[in-house]
Structure 1
Amino acid sequence: MVLAAGAGRRLRPYTDTLPKALVPVDGDTTIMDISIRNLAAVGLREIVIIVGYQAQAVHERKDGFEKRYGVKLELVHNDKAEEWNNAYSLWCARDYFAQGALLVNGDTVHPVSVEETLLAAPETSDILLAVDNVKKLADEEMKVTLDGGDLKRITKLMDPADAYGEYIGATLIRPGAAERLADALKTTFEGDPQLYYEDGYQVMVDRGEKIHVAPIGDVKWVEVDNHDDLAKARQIAGGYEAGA
């Protein structure tokens, strides 16, 4: 599952005509190419992509992605992609949660080792978050704190010094979480449509749910929000296939 409905206005002029996930980072290879390639590499062949802003550009490339990576794509439309934040966007794909899903943010460039780490982890909770506990944190990151091994808080609004690490935008959603996650996301965007899907995870924790994390180790990755991030993505993306 790839969350790719956002506009990415800080990446203009690329995103004048493309969603952020289709910005190229390695020759003609886009962020979405890397997302789909990673999911295919761990054996996932049915991939749901949540689209919204400039969705037609994804439709136009759908056949090419399917042939290139040997997958079947299902596009789910977020009708409020330019108005609301991504708690609603992920909720739009709620019908697929019950099958189990490996969710990746469509603006994150990371190696396939992240997916491998999530899939190899023991089944200790129905939702498992990929977390970087190596990187030096700042204010913009989606930070987490733990209580023992359980997620306690997930928010950008946290002193970096208090955080265990950064959630990197990859989640293993096991089938048992389906109804509870969908309800938490609905509660989140109905309360404030500008909230993140990670705020839905916080709703679950506040309701007594256990959510665990999987440290990804010291890997090269970046969330592509602006042109500086894009430059970093272009430095690291070409090394993934070579195992860097």
Structure 2
Amino acid sequence: MIGLVLAAGAGRRLRPYTDTLPKALVPVVAPDTADSRTVLDLTLANFAEVGLTDAAIVVGYRKEAVYERRADLERRYGVKLTLVENDKAEEWNNAYSLWCARDIISEGVILANGDTVHPASVEKTLLASRAPGRHIILALDTVKKLADEEMKVITDAAGAVRRITKLMPPQDATGEYIGVTLIEPEAAADLADALRVTYERDPQLYYEDGYQELADRGITLSTAPIGEVSWVEIDNHDDLARGREIACHY
């Protein structure tokens, strides 16, 4: 199993940082210092903590910044990095971005969004949740009070995904998908096909819409509650301030 980070997005709400950097390389810990760490740094550190020695990064917007940091990231976190290029990163949404990594997914991955600050306990929870028949496991926050923007999930009695979308009343949701998933090799072909169908239907759809496509086909997507964990998806400067507040405690 290897780590996989989606880091192709522009993150325009984080300008001026993202005038020259992809969102995953916006400084989170110790900004403006030699020891500055980004979401990508934090995620690769999590991968290393749970024993992953290989990782892939899907790059697109300002990809040259990731290429420039590649050797340093490999040295710092003891991982071998493969960069996968998304040629439509500034035009299409991330269903296509994840599809670009379909060959990587066939090896089995822990997928992490490139804008999610979270502790390694999330990866540990996912790995501890592996079991026969659980080929896709989503990290789910069932504690947080939800609002309209969150990627909300409804599960059945067994904890399998029935619905995943931002477009549901918060009170209907079981919890929020935090942007981290364990995907076993057995699920790779079905997921790749669902992602292809999804972005061909509408290039602006999310990979979570591909997850919904799988659920609609009767394929089980399991969930793993992460407990009371501090994490944040960094979309804007308020989120970045929150990320800087919590990341220093990891």
On whether the aligned pair clears a TM of 0.5, the verdict is: yes
Partner of 2:197: 187
* Distance apart, 1:97 and its partner CA: 1.4
List aligned pairs for 1:170-209, cutoff 5 A.
170-209=180-219
* Other-structure match for 1:125: 134
Aligned counterparts, 1:66-85, within 5 A: 66-85=74-93
Kindly provide the CA deviation profile for residues 210-238 of structure 1, in whole angstroms up to 9, marking residues without a partner as x: 11100000011000000000000000101
Alignment coverage as a number of residue pairs: 240
Out of 129-138 and 142-151, give the one that drifted further.
142-151
Which of 201, 215, 237 does residue 225 from structure 2 map onto? 215
Alpha-carbon offset, residue 122 of structure 1: 3.5
Normalised to the residue count of structure 2, the TM-score between the two structures is 0.95
Aligned residue for 2:227, secondary structure, equals: coil
Q: Which amino acid aligns with 1:11?
A: L
Residue in 2 aligned with 1:60? 68
Identity of aligned residues (%): 66
For residues 84 and 194 of structure 2, the distance between their equivalents in structure 1, rounded to whole angstroms, comes to: 20
Structure 1 unaligned runs (5+)?
A: none
Whether 2:95 is the aligned partner of 1:87: answer yes
Corresponding residue of 2:24: 21
Q: SS at 1:144's partner residue?
A: strand
Q: Which runs of 5+ in 2 are unaligned?
A: 31-35
Check if 1:142 corresponds to 2:121: no
Q: Tell me which stretches of 4 or more aligned residues in structure 1 moved more than 6 Å.
A: none
- 1:98 positional shift: 1.5
Shift of 1:148: 1.6
TM-score normalized by structure 1? 0.98
SS at match of 1:153: strand
One-letter amino acid of the structure 2 residue matched with residue 198 of structure 1? E
SS in 1 for 2:145: coil
After superposition, the CA RMSD in angstroms is: 0.6
1:168 paired with 2:178, answer yes
